[in-house]
């Protein structure tokens, strides 16, 4: 019987050594150690041995069982490791191939800049209102201190729809509409983004474009506040190092009127192609609301004062993104639009 144990052991060790897959080793475990395995069967015969031989036989059988068990486990782990290693080797990929990406779609650069402008002024406490694009002569001109036949009407060539109705030439009519609706309550603090129209088309003008108008009416609003608000805007829009410069100008609905320049963000003010060597870039027109405009809208100019500003969105978008040709903004070429996916 003991001899049988030794034979079984030798046979099993040889078989384990030759086993070449985890599955084969599982089979060997069943074959020798399973419920009906050969070692198990031998052990069942222990009872047939004389009593004095039984302990030695049992002990030996258990040792062999442990030995086989260990060897199977060791060999199996080794094989799994090899197998794993092989699998890993096979899973080598070219990391340089491009990742899977989704098109992000895009808003139009004009919409993006509009959103950015809105964000800045919302942060300064402004609300956003919109007005009709088709306006009456009264709101587009007369309520803004531009009476009939005023020479200032020639500053903006107008598209007319009827004797009295026109495509608004600026977003300013909402100044008058808002003040009329609110007077005599203070304060008013709004921006008005939107499309405007002028009869003009060349390299730097399109017959439709976008403006953002701003209006603040309150007690004791001053030109210095205008400067403060626009400096904050310029720095948030074009960088914290920006400075602004006010130059006297003329708009019929503001007095004093100013043009506002920012220090060039390309050269920092030393002069370059972008700023045509001046160090400054003109970005908007502004001023203190003209007393006539306040009066017409129901405010007493001795008690309320206001500041107003208006900027061209196309110009800011072109400056901000370095767009070289205004016409791209309205041609909707996908090669253009897709550059604004972000």
Partner 1 sequence: MKILYSWLKELVPDLKADAQTVATALTDAGVEVDGLVELPDQEYVIELDLTPNRSDCLSMWGLAYEVAAIFGLKAELPQDEELPILVDANKIQLAAPQLCPYYLGLILEDVKIGPSPDWLVKRLEALGMRGINNIVDITNYVMLETGQPLHAFDYDCLVDHKIVVRESKEDEEIITLDNQLRKPEAGTIYICDPEKAIGIGGVMGGLNSETTEQTKNIFFEAAYFDRRSIRRTAKALDLRSEAALRFEKGVDPSGLYKALQRVYYYSQLLKIGQPQKEILSGSTYAPQADRQILLSRKYLDERIGMSFSDQQVEESLQNLGFALSPTESGWQVGVPSRRQDVQEEVDLTEEVSRLVGLDQLPAVLPEGASTQGGLNKEQKLLQKVHRVLNKRGLNEALNYSFISKKELKDVFQDENHPLLQAIPLKNPMTEAQEIMRTSLLPGLLKNLRDNQNRQNLDIGLYEIGRIYLPEQLPLRDLPSEELHLGVALTGSSQALGWQLAKEPYDFYHLKGILEDLMSVLGWPLALKEKQDDPRFHPYQCAEILFNGRAIGIMGAIHPDLAENWDLNQKAFLAELNLDLVLKLADPKINYKPLSRYQSSKRDLALVVENSISAQAVLATIKLAAGDLLENVELFDVYRGSQIKAGHKSLAFSLTYRAQDRTLTDAEVAKAHNEILQFLNDYYQSELRQ
Q: What angle do CA 193, 183, 229 make, to 5 degrees?
A: 45
Minimum Å gap between C-beta 249 and partner 1 is: 6
Nearest to 105 by CA among 336, 340, 320, 318: 340
Residues 145-174 that bind partner 1 (CB under 8 A): 148-152, 154-155, 159-162, 165, 167
Minimum Å gap between C-beta 296 and partner 1 is: 14
Q: Which is nearer to partner 1, 18 or 278 (CB)?
A: 278
Return d(Cα 18, Cα 39) in angstroms, integer: 19
Residues 248-287 that bind partner 1 (CB under 8 A): 248-250, 252, 255-258
Residues 63-92 that bind partner 1 (CB under 8 A): none
Q: Which is nearer to partner 1, 13 or 340 (CB)?
A: 340
Q: Give the residue carrying structure tokens 């060999």.
A: 75
Nearest to 119 by CA among 201, 174, 193, 61: 193
Residues 188-227 that bind partner 1 (CB under 8 A): 189, 195, 197, 199, 201, 206-208, 216, 218-225, 227
- Give yes or no for residue 103 binding partner 1 (CB under 8 A): yes
- Give yes or no for residue 327 binding partner 1 (CB under 8 A): no
β-strand partners of 206 = none
Q: Which of 305, 308, 316, 318 binds partner 1 (CB under 8 A)?
A: 305
Q: Which is nearer to partner 1, 68 or 319 (CB)?
A: 319
Nearest to 258 by CA among 294, 209, 309, 303: 309
Residues 221-240 that bind partner 1 (CB under 8 A): 221-225, 227-229, 231-232
Q: Which is nearer to partner 1, 94 or 324 (CB)?
A: 94
3-class secondary-structure state, position 116: helix
Contacts of 285 (CB under 8 A, 6+ apart): 249, 251, 257, 258, 259, 260, 309, 310, 311
On whether the CB atoms of residues 98 and 40 are closer than 8 A, the answer is no
Binding mask 19-58 for partner 1 (x = CB under 8 A): ----------------------------------------
């Amino acid at each position: 019987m003991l001899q049988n144990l030794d034979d079984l052991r030798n046979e099993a060790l040889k078989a384990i050594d030759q086993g070449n897959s985890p599955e084969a080793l599982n089979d060997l475990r069943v074959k020798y150690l399973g419920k009906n395995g050969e070692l198990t069967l031998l052990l069942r015969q222990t009872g047939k041995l004389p009593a004095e031989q039984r302990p030695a036989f049992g002990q030996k059988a258990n040792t062999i069982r442990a030995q086989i068990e260990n060897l199977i486990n060791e060999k199996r782990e080794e094989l799994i490791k090899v197998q794993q290693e092989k699998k890993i080797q096979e899973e080598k990929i070219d990391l340089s191939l491009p990742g899977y990406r989704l098109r992000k779609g895009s808003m139009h650069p004009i919409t993006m800049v509009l959103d950015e402008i809105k964000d800045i002024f919302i942060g300064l406490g402004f609300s956003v209102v919109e007005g009709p694009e088709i306006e009456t002569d009264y709101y587009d001109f007369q309520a803004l201190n531009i009476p009939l036949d005023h020479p200032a009407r020639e500053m903006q060539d107008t598209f007319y729809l009827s004797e009295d109705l026109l495509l608004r030439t600026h977003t300013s009519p909402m100044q008058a509409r808002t003040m009329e609706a609110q007077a005599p309550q203070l304060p008013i603090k709004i921006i008005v983004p939107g499309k405007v129209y002028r009869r003009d088309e060349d390299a730097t003008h399109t017959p439709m474009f976008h403006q953002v108008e701003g209006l603040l009416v309150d007690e004791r609003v001053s030109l210095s506040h205008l400067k403060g608000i626009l400096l904050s805007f310029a720095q948030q829009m074009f960088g914290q190092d920006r400075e602004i410069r006010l130059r006297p100008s003329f708009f019929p609905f503001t007095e004093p009127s100013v043009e506002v320049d920012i220090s060039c963000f390309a050269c920092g003010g030393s002069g370059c192609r972008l700023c045509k060597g001046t160090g400054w870039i003109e970005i908007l027109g502004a001023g203190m609301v003209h007393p006539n405009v306040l009066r017409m809208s129901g405010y007493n100019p001795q008690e309320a004062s206001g500041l107003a500003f208006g900027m061209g969105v196309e110009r800011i978008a072109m400056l901000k993104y370095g767009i070289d040709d205004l016409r791209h903004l309205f041609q909707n070429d996908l090669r253009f639009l897709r550059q604004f996916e972000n």
